[in-house]
């Protein structure tokens, strides 16, 4: 077997070399060759090399185009069920992006269209260029659920977002998207007021020599309350820093990381941003150093004397010993220029008319054991009616017959009605009960009971 393989390889070697050279030259021009080998049931293979050539347009370095919404599900300006109170909506973009929306497109306070950041609601987007949806020939999905809101009065005769019922007779939302989304990762550490600066493994660990950490090249704690640390140290270890309260209620944080992108941080109810970042030559800690003064606010006192008094006040000891969670949110990829839609994409959903069964036949008494069930409904899209005997497990389809007229006991159905029929035979002489159920393309439905007596 090996001998045959070697002989075949020698025979095809010139072709193989030529294909490899061709593939490499194509690859340099963003073109890929997908080779196909086929075999039939008898074991015959194609002798000529078969391949599919795919060219990939290189990503423009100077990208100035905002994401384009190429389609939506449900389709824009489409109808939904009359009794729907919330509806999942997906929009599909031509590139990875993040999208926000609002029910009001105008900022009445500033007398201008709403900016992307001012839109109240957000879509959930994949944000990954490799997570393609097959919809619309290969797109990126962003989805949300529109739900009914409570109503409230308007302000200065203008509607507010809370007055816009998301699924009333016609609902409009205004969508804006921006490209080059980036992931966000969260880091955090703990801080506690104490006698001297120390670092421990976990905030809830016993503070003793066994779990006290020795300062090293990746983090240290200096006077006065200066923390030097690589961002990666806050990812898993969740260190506890004991802050020496005799100096200040602030921590001077020196955060080292590998990119200049700003990070947001939260301490209790306070939020801030690490924006002051300088390039350094420290490869071990991180190539960028961000410096921020973080005030712990562990007391309302502003001077050292008040702090000393508080320290001796047993009633306030819990406040004094509070542990603070200081969390950071940082982008996981390099943030480039982001292009945002200048004009909002207007998306609308309309409630359809309810589907109603307007009449059922026969009624009263029928003088035959073979008769016809007739159901009339209001007009709608793709109406379907089914029937079953009472207490039966499954429904059966009825036949749509709008091109006929029917008369049962002087009840006439005209061609203008949405009419469904089905012959029912060998009925027992007594009360006969059927259940009919009709649905349409928008999800509307209606159900009725048909009762009549068969007498001889």
- Residues 364-421: tens digit of each pLDDT: 999 999 999 999 999 999 999 999 999 999 999 999 986 555 554 455 555 456 899 9
Which helix (H) or strand (E) segment holds residue 27: the answer is helix 2-28
- Given pLDDT bands bounded at 50, 70 and 90, which one contains residue 219? low
Tell me which residue of 266, 241, 237 sits closest to 330, measured CA to CA.
266
388: CATH = 2.60.40.10
Is 183's pLDDT higher than 80?
no
**Is 109 found in the same domain as 202?**
no
- Residues 424-448: tens digit of each pLDDT: 999 999 999 999 999 999 999 999 9
What residues make up the domain containing 102?
69-151+159-179
- Residues 196-208: tens digit of each pLDDT: 777 776 655 455 5
**Is 101 found in the same domain as 136?**
yes
Total domain count, the chain: 4
| Residue at 251 is within a domain | yes
Distance of alpha carbon 202 from alpha carbon 234, whole angstroms:
11
Distance of alpha carbon 329 from alpha carbon 333, whole angstroms:
12
The predicted pLDDT at position 151 comes to 39
At 86, phi and psi to the nearest 5?
Answer: -150, 150
Q: 131: exposed, middle or buried (C-beta count within 10 Å: 0-12, 13-18, 19+)?
A: exposed
**Is 89 found in the same domain as 24?**
no
- Residues 308-324: tens digit of each pLDDT: 444 444 444 444 456 77
As a whole-number percent, the residues of the chain with pLDDT over 90 amount to 33
Distance of alpha carbon 326 from alpha carbon 187, whole angstroms:
9
Other C-beta atoms within 10 Å of 321: how many? Answer: 11
**Is 14 found in the same domain as 111?**
no
| Residue at 254 is within a domain | yes
Higher pLDDT residue, 329 or 379? Answer: 379
- Which residue is listed with tokens 């819990």? 318
**Is 302 found in the same domain as 429?**
no
Which helix (H) or strand (E) segment holds residue 364: the answer is strand 364-366
**Is 438 found in the same domain as 403?**
yes
The predicted pLDDT at position 226 comes to 83
The predicted pLDDT at position 375 comes to 95
The predicted pLDDT at position 160 comes to 46
**Is 194 found in the same domain as 318?**
yes
**Is 317 found in the same domain as 194?**
yes
The alpha carbon torsion through 162, 167, 171, 172 (nearest 10 deg) reads 60
Higher pLDDT residue, 244 or 84? Answer: 84
Distance of alpha carbon 125 from alpha carbon 97, whole angstroms:
7
- Residues 236-290: tens digit of each pLDDT: 667 777 777 665 667 888 888 888 777 888 887 778 888 778 888 777 778 888 8
The predicted pLDDT at position 216 comes to 61
**Is 274 found in the same domain as 383?**
no
As a whole-number percent, the residues of the chain with pLDDT over 70 amount to 68
**Is 378 found in the same domain as 278?**
no
The predicted pLDDT at position 276 comes to 79
| Residue at 348 is within a domain | no
| Residue at 384 is within a domain | yes
């Amino acid at each position: 077997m090996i001998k045959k393989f070697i002989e075949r390889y020698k025979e095809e070697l010139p072709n193989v070399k030529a294909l490899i050279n061709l593939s490499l030259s194509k690859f340099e021009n963003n073109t890929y060759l997908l080779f196909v080998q086929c075999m039939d049931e008898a074991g015959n293979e194609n002798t000529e090399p078969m391949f599919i050539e795919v060219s990939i347009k290189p990503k423009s370095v100077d990208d100035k185009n905002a994401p384009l919404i190429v389609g939506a599900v449900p389709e824009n300006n489409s109808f939904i069920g009359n009794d729907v109170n919330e509806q999942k909506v997906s929009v599909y973009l031509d590139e990875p992006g993040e999208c926000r929306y609002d029910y009001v497109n105008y900022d009445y306070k500033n007398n201008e269209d709403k900016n992307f950041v001012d839109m109240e609601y957000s879509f959930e987007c994949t944000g990954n260029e490799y997570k393609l949806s097959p919809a619309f020939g290969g797109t990126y999905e962003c989805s949300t659920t529109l739900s009914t809101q409570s109503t409230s009065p308007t302000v200065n005769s203008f509607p507010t977002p809370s007055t816009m019922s998301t699924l009333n007779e016609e609902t409009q939302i205004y969508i804006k998207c921006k490209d080059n989304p980036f992931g966000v990762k969260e880091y955090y550490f703990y801080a506690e007021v104490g006698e001297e600066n120390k670092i421990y493994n976990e905030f809830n660990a016993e503070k003793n020599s066994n779990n006290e950490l020795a300062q090293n090249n990746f983090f240290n704690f200096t006077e006065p309350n200066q923390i030097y640390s690589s961002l990666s140290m806050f990812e898993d270890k969740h260190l506890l820093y004991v802050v020496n309260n005799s100096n200040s209620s602030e921590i001077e944080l020196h955060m080292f990381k590998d990119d200049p992108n700003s990070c947001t941080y939260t301490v209790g109810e306070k939020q801030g941003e690490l924006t002051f970042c300088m390039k350094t030559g420290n490869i071990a800690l991180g190539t960028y150093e961000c410096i921020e003064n973080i005030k712990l606010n562990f007391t309302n006192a502003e001077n050292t004397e008040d702090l000393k008094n508080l320290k001796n006040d047993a009633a306030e000891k819990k406040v004094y010993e509070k542990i603070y969670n200081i969390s950071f949110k940082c982008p996981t990829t390099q943030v480039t220029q982001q292009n945002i839609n200048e004009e909002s994409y207007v998306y609308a959903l309309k409630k359809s008319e309810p589907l109603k069964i307007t009449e059922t036949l026969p009624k009263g008494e029928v003088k035959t054991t073979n008769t016809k069930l007739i159901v009339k409904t209001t007009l709608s899209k793709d109406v379907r009616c089914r029937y079953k005997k009472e207490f039966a497990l499954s429904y059966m389809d009825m036949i749509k017959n709008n091109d006929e007229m029917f008369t049962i006991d002087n009840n006439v159905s005209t061609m203008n009605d949405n009419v469904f029929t089905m012959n029912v035979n060998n009925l027992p002489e007594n009360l006969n009960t059927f259940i009919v159920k009709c649905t349409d393309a928008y999800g509307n439905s209606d159900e009725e009971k048909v009762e009549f007596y068969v007498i001889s």
